[in-house]
Chain A
C-alpha cells in the first residue's frame, strides 16, 4: 500500500499484479516471456522472482493454449491473469475467447465462473512493425460474456486491473502501450472509482469529447488548444467499453449538446458507431449536431512511417470539433 506522486502506467500495472498476487494465492500470471524477462514491456518485472515459477508462468508460444489452459485452471479455482504480448497476436486465441471463455458461464447456467483477465497492450504510435499497433477492442466488446476495459492513467491502470482480477467474469484489459511510460499519481489506499463507470476528466460547456485509453491524452491537448480559442470542451474518459457507461455520457451531452468520439480503432463499426447511435437515441432533442467520429481508416494498420497520418491527432480532432460547432 503506497501513495505515488508520479508513477508510470507500466509500473502501476506491475504494482497492481503484485498486490493482487499477495492478497490471493489463487492469482496466477501467465504469458510469453512474463517470467525472467518481465515481459517485453517489463510490466511483470520481478514478479517471478518474488512469487515463483509456479505462479508466474512462462508459457509455450501459443496464444490459444494460454487462454485454453487458463480456462481449465479457472475451472479448478485459480484466477489467471494472462498477457498477450501484442494486440495483433491475440487472434490465435480468439476462438477460445469467443467460443469458450465468453460463453461457458452461460452454458453452465451459472454453475461455473471464469475469473480470467487478459491483458493486451494495444494501439499504435510506437513505430512498430506490422501486428504491433492495432486496436481490436470492438472485436471483444461485441461478444456477450466478456467485459472490456482500458485505463488512460496510472491510477486507473492500477485500480481497474485490481478490480478486474477480483471480479468473477472474464475481462479483456487493454493497455495503452504508447502511454506505458507516462507518469501520473496513484494512491493505492484510495477508494476506487466503480470499474465500469466513465469519468468526466475535464468539465466544459460547448462540446463533449468521448475517448478512452491512449486517446484521452490527445483529447486533453485538444481541450487545451480549444480553450485558448475560447471554446469550452468537456472530456469523458469512457474507461469501460463493455459495458459502456451511457448515463455519464448522456448527462454530459445533455449539457454540451455536441459529441465527438475519438479512438484509434477504425471508425467503421467501431465503438464510436455504437455510441453515436445510442446517444442519438437518448439525446435526440438535445443535440445541436450529429455525433461525429474520429478514428482509424478502413485500411490495414499502415507501415509506421504513415501512422501519424492514420492515427487521430490534435489537428484531426480539432477539425472534428470545428465541424461539430459549425452546425
Chain B
C-alpha cells in the first residue's frame, strides 16, 4: 500500500515506514536513546530529501521519548533536577552548534565535518563501553568479585569541584560544572549532527557519573524530549521540512516498538545492556568510517535547492 507524502512530495510504502518506525523505536526504547542516528540514514536511503528526513524523524523521537518519560515518571526513575540541568546546558550548546554548522557550511566542508564527527564520537564512545563490558565479563568468569559500582572515596576529582548539588534519585552529590559541560557538549553535537545526543548522555551518566541504569534511561529521555520538541518546531518554521503524514506513520510504528524495547530493556542484565549498546555504537561508527575510506562507486552526488515560486 502506497501513500503520497505531501511535503516530501513522493509516495512511500506504508508498511515499510511502519516497520522502520517499529524497529528504530524498539532500539530507542531498549537503550534510552532517540534513535535519530539510525532513522535519518534509513529515510534518506528511501529517497526522502535529507532536510525532510532530519526534520520529520524528530517528531517520532518526541513521541517515543514522551512514552518513555511517562513510564519513567511512574516508576520514579526520572531525576528531574539532573534532567533540568541537562536541558539548560543543552540549549546553550545547541546555539553554539547551529553557529558552527553555518560556519562549516560556508567553508564548504559540512559533509566532512559531520562524517568525521560521527566516526569519532561513535567509535570512541563505543570502544570505551566495549572495553569496560569485556573487562567486567572476564572478572566475573575468573570468579573474582566484581568491583561494586560505587565506592566511598573513589570519585574523580572533577566531581568534587565547587557548586556541589545533591541528586537524590541518581544517588549523586557532585559539582554542577561537569554536568553542565557535558550538556553543553551534547547540545553542540546534537545541533551539528541533527541527533538528540542520547547515545552520549547515556554512557556519560553511566560511566562518568555512575548514575544507576534505570535512572539514566528516564533522565536521558527527558532531556531528549525537551531538545527535540524545540528542534522540531525550528525545523518546521525555518525549513518547512516537517512531513506530517510521514511523522504519523513513523510515530505509530515507533510507539509500539519503543514499548517492547523498554520492556525488554528492563529485563536485560546491566552488563549485557552496556555490551549491546557498545556494539551498536561501534557498528554505526564503523559504517560511517567505511563511507569515508572506501572508494565510492559513484563519486558524484546531486543536491537540489528547492526553487519555490
Task: Say whether A associates with B.
Answer: no
Contacts from A to B (Cβ < 8 Å): none
Binding site for A on B (CB under 8 A): none
